[in-house]
Structure 1
Amino acid sequence: MIVRNIVLRPDKFIWLTVMGLLCYFNRVELRDEWRLENRQAFANIWSDMVYGVALFLLMYFNQSKVAMIKFTGYKLLNNISDSGKAFLIILVSDILLGYHSEAGWHSLVEIILDHYGLETDQAAVTFFVCLVPVALDVFIKFWVYKYLPRLSPSVGNILDEIRRH
């Protein structure tokens, strides 16, 4: 058998044919996987949009129930002692912004990007993780030391004592 002016034995021709078919099927399989990933990302975008619209409509048309939930939340927070409030503020800020949370931020950003079918660029993820937690930390500290003493002076005093140590 002659292929491109090269004489091949029948066994080599069969081998090349089989390899060509395997490459073709591999390309088809990769194409199908890529299409499936795109469909899943598109479905995730649409389902999240539908969820957001449904949540907005439920909250808009059931404002009395939303007000009841807000009232319950305020009541729960007001029944916590001042040291408990300070503990919750420190706990939440350390979970979100502590020195150990960098891996969590990396994972969160990668999961969100993967959910929407976007590729993760490690430089962009690192840049995001370097900026966003620091900005959140600044906003929380600003709120804690500027506005919290007006809302609850004793919680502000507790946090000031903790800051001194």
Structure 2
Amino acid sequence: MNSSGLNNKSINNTGSDPLKQQVVSITYEEIGLFPRSFNRVFDRFFKQLFFDVENLVIQEYRFYRYLFLTTVKCVFILLFVPLTVNFIAKNYFVRPITEYYWNTHQTEIFLNSYQQKRAFNELKNFEEKIYFESLILSNPDIFLNSKDLNSSEQKIINFENIDKNKKFSDIFAKSIQNSLQTETIELAKHYNEESIEAITNFFADLISLSTLFILLLRLEIQLNITKSFLLEVFFGLDDSKKSLCLLFVTDLLVGYHSPNIWELFFSSIFDRYGLPESQTTIFLLVATLPVLLDVLFKYLIFRHLNRASPATVATYHAMIE
């Protein structure tokens, strides 16, 4: 389909408002042989020669105001509507259903074996801590070594200390048993809640993604306007600022200087959904995904930006080198 067909289609969708027709037609503008800034400069020059300048300024102001307001509205909807849906679905729909099913229709506490191993390790560490404390507190020697006491007095004191040690040992053994039982119950509650939270996060995020996908389909025209406005702002910068923006994005997100950010990101994802946190898997993802994104980003620069603004591409490569 050619560009004229796309423009006619967009005008039919917007009705008879000439301002909206002009906005939507720009959203389908493709990158040509020359930068669009050249075309805009010549267009303004001829309009200033043959048309009313005051009306031209007013129309241009209204045009860019409409672009800006539409962009803000579109970004606001795409950000806050899925987050609001996630919050409502998670707290009022998904979590009550998950808690009811998990606590009544099955006897499992752990979502997977990874959580079970973590719980056993925590319980083992607690037992070692209790055992260490028992070695310190279970031997309260209160024997008197005074030379002034005769043998009968020392025997009486020894019997009293043995009786005290026996009572202390019984009390301490019961205390250890109660502590282990309390810690086991607390661990069971914690990991049961963690399993419910992981299942809730999965379904709530799935609903949010579905909402975002529906919004992307319903707001197609607004998204084209937003893309056009952002490209307008980007190409309005000079070459050094555009290159600096590109360099910042590549180094921060897809560059080789931020592996710790990617490790933290994948660890958070695994923890959020209760997945086994394998360091090998995380290192493999960190080693492959940023490289793929870097290749894709460079392809987009070569495919589009090299035609629209060759000076920016040259400045970008110069900054890299």
> In the alignment, which residue of structure 1 is the partner of 2:305?
148
Deviates more, 1:20-29 or 1:145-154: 145-154
Secondary structure of 2:258's partner?
helix
Using the TM superposition, give the Cα deviation of residue 32 of structure 1 relative to its aligned residue in structure 2, in angstroms.
0.5
Q: TM-score, normalised by structure 2?
A: 0.43
> In the alignment, which residue of structure 2 is the partner of 1:22?
179
Using the TM superposition, give the Cα deviation of residue 84 of structure 1 relative to its aligned residue in structure 2, in angstroms.
2.1
Matched AA of 1:88: C
Deviates more, 1:107-116 or 1:95-104: 95-104
Matched, 1:64 2:193: no
Using the TM superposition, give the Cα deviation of residue 45 of structure 1 relative to its aligned residue in structure 2, in angstroms.
1.1
Distance 1:76 1:28, change over 3 A: same
**What is the alpha-carbon distance in structure 1 between the residues aligned to residue 228 and residue 249 of structure 2?**
22
Matched, 1:78 2:257: no
Matched, 1:101 2:263: no
**What is the alpha-carbon distance in structure 2 between the residues aligned to residue 91 and residue 97 of structure 1?**
10
> In the alignment, which residue of structure 2 is the partner of 1:6?
none
Using the TM superposition, give the Cα deviation of residue 29 of structure 1 relative to its aligned residue in structure 2, in angstroms.
1.1
Query: Map of 1:111-130 to 2, 5 A cutoff?
Result: 111-130=268-287
Deviates more, 1:116-125 or 1:14-23: 14-23
Q: For residues 78-104 of structure 1, what are the alpha-carbon distances to aligned partners after superposition, in whole Å with 9 as ceiling and x for unaligned? A: 322233222211111111244431211
**What is the alpha-carbon distance in structure 2 between the residues aligned to residue 87 and residue 56 of structure 1?**
32
**What is the alpha-carbon distance in structure 2 between the residues aligned to residue 112 and residue 64 of structure 1?**
33
Matched AA of 1:110: S
Equivalent pair of 2:255/2:294 in contact (CA under 8 Å): no
RMSD of aligned Cα (Å): 2.6
**What is the alpha-carbon distance in structure 2 between the residues aligned to residue 57 and residue 98 of structure 1?**
32
Secondary structure of 2:257's partner?
helix
Task: Give % identity.
Answer: 25
**What is the alpha-carbon distance in structure 1 between the residues aligned to residue 284 and residue 183 of structure 2?**
36
Distance 1:74 1:141, change over 3 A: closer
Distance 1:54 1:93, change over 3 A: same
**What is the alpha-carbon distance in structure 1 between the residues aligned to residue 169 and residue 301 of structure 2?**
76
Secondary structure of 1:100's partner?
coil
**What is the alpha-carbon distance in structure 1 between the residues aligned to residue 242 and residue 215 of structure 2?**
31
Secondary structure of 2:275's partner?
coil
Using the TM superposition, give the Cα deviation of residue 30 of structure 1 relative to its aligned residue in structure 2, in angstroms.
0.7
Distance 1:144 1:107, change over 3 A: same
Matched, 1:137 2:255: no
* Matched pairs, number: 156
Deviates more, 1:74-83 or 1:143-152: 143-152
**What is the alpha-carbon distance in structure 2 between the residues aligned to residue 145 and residue 60 of structure 1?**
28
Deviates more, 1:135-144 or 1:106-115: 135-144
**What is the alpha-carbon distance in structure 2 between the residues aligned to residue 162 and residue 67 of structure 1?**
31
**What is the alpha-carbon distance in structure 1 between the residues aligned to residue 285 and residue 185 of structure 2?**
36
Q: Which has the higher contact order (CA 8 A, sep 6+)?
A: 2
Deviates more, 1:114-123 or 1:14-23: 14-23
Deviates more, 1:97-106 or 1:43-52: 97-106
**What is the alpha-carbon distance in structure 2 between the residues aligned to residue 64 and residue 118 of structure 1?**
38
Using the TM superposition, give the Cα deviation of residue 14 of structure 1 relative to its aligned residue in structure 2, in angstroms.
5.3
Matched, 1:90 2:261: no
